[in-house]
A and B are shown apart, each in its own frame.
Chain A
Amino acid sequence: MPGGPLAELARGPSAYRWLRTAGTGFARVSSLVALAVAWELAARSGAFTPFMLPALSAVLERIWSDLVAGDLVLNTGVTLYRAFTGFLIGAVAGIALGMGISRNRFTHWFFDPIISVGFPMPKIAFLPVVMLWLGVYDISKITMIAVEAVFPVVTATIIGIRGVERELLWSARNMGATERELLWQIALPAALPQIITGLQVALPIALIVAIVTEMFMGGYGLGGAMNTASRFADSRGVFAGIVEIAVIGYALVKGVMLVRRRLLLWHQEALAPSTV
């Protein structure tokens, strides 16, 4: 989450800090617990049919039985494999393209309009086209994911490289760096915070698209399993899917944040108070 809400609390006088951290930690957990309890109570109160809102306990039971049966691991694995492969292809292509666009006049001329028109488009509309071309298996899903993931990375790379301080480039050039060294050793590391931000945008998109493609085409994967559950009016299965996907999305976003902190230890943003 960009600029966490609780960041300012960490800046209090050190004597209070521990108490405050403990207090906010409690508050944080308690509002999640309250939500869970409210769900359970609402479902049990009879105000909703079990079809509209199955009890949390029933949903957890369902997740557990999926886990024991091995379906959960299989479906999660398949979904993550697709999302990550597409994301990686999109990330590498996006960074390469962004570097090319920043450095080469012809690449810039050719790709700049394509990207500025393509970026705000809902590319998911091309899903049936991609399916027509590449079938209903992994290739079409991964292609769709890569196409969606590439745009935020390209734009972030371009913005990052454009924003590199001129003094940095001048002094490197003054010390005899070649254009190639300038790009790899100065511009790219200096643009890294922006590039990682682009990757942080692209990864959740990759997961969203993975799930949509699976829902659309069916088969294995968390989206496919939810689709099947919804076809058979199996609302426990649908809610189990939501909880599973929410947990995975949360874990992914937190993971990327850790990677960011590790990669940017040298950068001044690491000195800033840690955001939630």
Chain B
Amino acid sequence: MIEPAIAATSGGSQQRRMQAALLRYLPLLLLALVWEAGARSGLISTLALPPLSTVAAAWIDLLKDGELVSNGAASLWRAGAGLALAIVIGAALGIFMAWWRPVNVLLSPLVEVFYPMPKSALIPVTVLWLGFGNGSKILLIFLGCMLPVTIGAFNGARSSEQALVWSARSMGANRLRMLWDVVVPSAMPELLNGIRTALALSFILLVSSELIAAREGLGYLIGFLGASGTYDAMFAVVLTVALLGFIADRIYLVLMQRMLRWRE
């Protein structure tokens, strides 16, 4: 991830910071202008690329008639539920694998075989099992996002410093106490990175499964609008999904930094 290159200087005034941000995001503004100009001038057919202003108008229409909200809520519920399950179960699994060798010996071959599996292959099966509704999407996102979390937790827990474990033990901590007080915190950084991967993956799986087999949700809306030829609205939803993914990642980054503040 590229962090802001032109970080606002500590002594800089509000205005200077604004200017720096403007300069930094100017290329995106330029792209938007080129889009608008290209579509308006007739250089690019408006069928292939509706002008940005039309797309914005379509977005407001979608928002007003509630399509965007209802489908967006369905999508976010699926992604959220699947991801939450994946985080809880995946993290527990990874930490237990690092903590207890028999679990590791039993499960690591399975993890190793299923981790590289392209998770999109599971879309038809989840549909076969649970139909077109929420269940199949939640199951898919859970299955797809669990292993990155597991591996993050495993690697993090395994790398917990022996010295810390030893001193905790010498101070009389029992195994369970140690798991919670030493192993889990030291697994945190890698675990949180694993969750970030899972977050990105959850959006990919959500959109692909909704594009392929769903009756509501933002992915479904994109496919539906595309098939009916209302391209300005389709672009509006595509941009909404992309933006949601971006915003989710940014929020997560802020949370992650806050959660890791106790480390030096």
Contacts and interface: CB of A to CB of B under 8 A. Distances in A.
A pairs with B:
yes
A6 B154 CA distance: 11
Nearest to A114: B27
A111 B27 contact: yes
Interface string A148-171: 000000010010000000000000
B120 A208 contact: yes
Interface residues of A, number: 70
Contacts, number: 190
Interface in A29-78: 29, 31-32, 35, 51-52
Interface in B170-206: 200, 203-204, 206
A207 B118 contact: yes
Interface stretch (A11-19, A178-186, A233-241, A260-268): A233-241
B226 A132 contact: yes
B198 to A, nearest CB: 13
Contacts of B25: 113
B146 interface: no
Contact of B123 (A108, A215, A252): A215
A2 B105 contact: no
Contacts of B4: 116
Interface in B219-245: 219, 222-223, 226, 231, 234-235, 238, 241-243, 245
Given A6-B108, A109-B27, A227-B124, A250 B151 contact: no
Nearest to A28: B109
A246 interface: yes
A122 B250 CA distance: 14
Nearest to B231: A132
A219 interface: no
Interface string A232-276: 000100110110011001101110000000000000000000001
A252 B116 contact: yes
A230 B126 CA distance: 11
Interface string A210-223: 11100110000011
Interface in A179-203: none
A20 B157 CA distance: 23
Max chain A CB contacts within 10 Å: which of B118, B120, B128?
A: B118
Contacts of B235: 129
A250 B219 contact: no
B207 interface: yes
B119 interface: yes
Interface in B99-127: 104-125, 127
A252 B115 CA distance: 12
Contact of A125 (B2, B127, B238): B238
Contacts of A209: 120
Contact of B222 (A52, A117, A125, A242): A125
B249 interface: yes
Contacts of A123: 242
Nearest to A257: B116
Contacts of A52: 128-129
B48 interface: yes
B28 interface: yes
A205 to B, nearest CB: 8
30 contacts: A1-B116, A4-B112, A6-B105, A27-B106, A113-B26, A114-B28, A116-B1, A116-B4, A120-B248, A122-B203, A122-B242, A122-B245, A124-B207, A124-B211, A125-B241, A128-B211, A128-B222, A129-B234, A132-B48, A132-B231, A155-B1, A204-B118, A208-B119, A215-B124, A230-B124, A238-B128, A245-B117, A246-B113, A246-B121, A276-B112
Given A116-B3, A253-B115, 15 more contacts: A5-B104, A5-B108, A6-B104, A6-B108, A28-B108, A120-B248, A121-B246, A124-B211, A128-B211, A212-B211, A216-B212, A230-B124, A230-B127, A242-B121, A276-B108
The 9 closest A-B pairs by CB, nearest first: A120-B249, A253-B116, A230-B124, A122-B203, A5-B108, A128-B226, A28-B109, A245-B121, A125-B241
Interface of B: 1-5, 23-28, 31, 48, 97-98, 104-125, 127-129, 151, 154-155, 158, 200, 203-204, 206-208, 211-213, 218-219, 222-223, 226, 231, 234-235, 238, 241-243, 245-246, 248-250
